[in-house]
Amino acid sequence: MLEISFIPAFKDNYIWLLTRAGRAAVVDPGDAAPVLAHLAASGLVLDSILVTHHHADHQGGIDALCQHWHPRVYGPAAESITGCTDPLSGGESIEVLGQSMAVLAVPGHTRGHLAYVLPGAVFCGDTLFGAGCGRLFEGTPEQMYASLSRLAALPDETKIYCAHEYTEANLRFAQAIEPGNPAIAERVSRVADLRRRGLSSVPSTLAEEKATNPFLRCREPAVIAAAQAIVAVDRSEPAIFAALRSARNNF
Ligand code: ZN
Ligand code: FE
């Protein structure tokens, strides 16, 4: 089995670290320094880098890591990724540290955004967050909604390894949309407690996101009503999603 942990970076980024038998892979190394320090301290060899999308806080450390190591670098073919050895567009299966991973295309935040799926876990970058989702920088609401639906089709127990600690702020919006949802209230107090103790709220599970994340709840009557109270839209799921996403931008 792969072991999964994180290396914190910047203000709220998580660089996910996968290890097996002294070898390591990192997901979205936006900064090399904390990764190099961690690898040196734990005597790990860097085998692979997985990149979900091209933003600097996800790939800014690749260059420096490749000066110390010679990892395979997996990333979206449609985007400019430093040192990419294995350009991917979704639908592939790759083998990392002896574990096969499925590559999913999840465009919306960026146009080539990828998610890496292994049994029971997904590394989804800036697509799905704890109680929220990424901003639409390069894609349409329809694309992002389809991408979130692709993630939502994974098994309920799948752990959601997203790239940022945004859960607390996202939950405030979730609660404004669905004030009567007890699962959101429960998550608000659980996450507040974790954060107060300096602990991470990530990973969550897909089941938890389906119960509390408004962007995965565009079919729920309460969410539809809240979205339609903000802006007059039809009841189609992408339209509800688009209304929620733009409301979140101004929240
Ligand atoms: Zn991003
Ligand atoms: Fe990011």
Stretch 230-249: mean pLDDT: 94
Tell me the two tokens of residue 78. 């449609």
- DSSP for 11-24? TTEEEEEEEETTEE
Q: What are phi and psi of 178, to 5 degrees?
A: -130, 70
The predicted structure's pLDDT at residue 32:
98
- pLDDT bin (cut points 50, 70, 90) of residue 1 is confident
The predicted structure's pLDDT at residue 232:
83
pLDDT > 90? residue 130 = yes
Stretch 137-158: mean pLDDT: 98
Q: What is the pLDDT of residues 52-83, one digit of tens each?
A: 999 999 999 999 999 999 999 999 999 999 99
Which residues are identified as catalytic?
Answer: 53, 55, 57-58, 109, 126, 164
Predicted model pTM: 0.98
Are the CB atoms for 126 and 134 separated by under 8 Å? Answer: yes
Tell me the two tokens of residue 99. 């574990």
Domain edges within the chain: 3-249
Instruction: Please give the Cα distance from 112 to 128 (Å, whole number).
Output: 15
Tell me the two tokens of residue 207. 């089941």
Judged by DSSP in three states, 151 sits in helix
**Distance (Å) from CA 221 to ligand 1 centroid:** 31
Ligand number with the minimum distance to the CA of 164: 2
Closest listed residue to residue 191, CA positions, set 165, 167, 211, 214: 167
**Distance (Å) from CA 134 to ligand 1 centroid:** 7
**Distance (Å) from CA 226 to ligand 2 centroid:** 28
Are the CB atoms for 121 and 161 separated by under 8 Å? Answer: yes
Instruction: Please give the Cα distance from 44 to 131 (Å, whole number).
Output: 33
Residue 118: C-alpha distances to residues 2, 87, 102, 128, 171 (Å): 10, 19, 7, 16, 27
Ligand 2 ion: nearby residues, β-carbon < 5 Å: 57, 126
| Architecture of the CATH domain 3-249 | 4-Layer Sandwich (3.60)
**Distance (Å) from CA 163 to ligand 1 centroid:** 9
- pLDDT bin (cut points 50, 70, 90) of residue 48 is very high
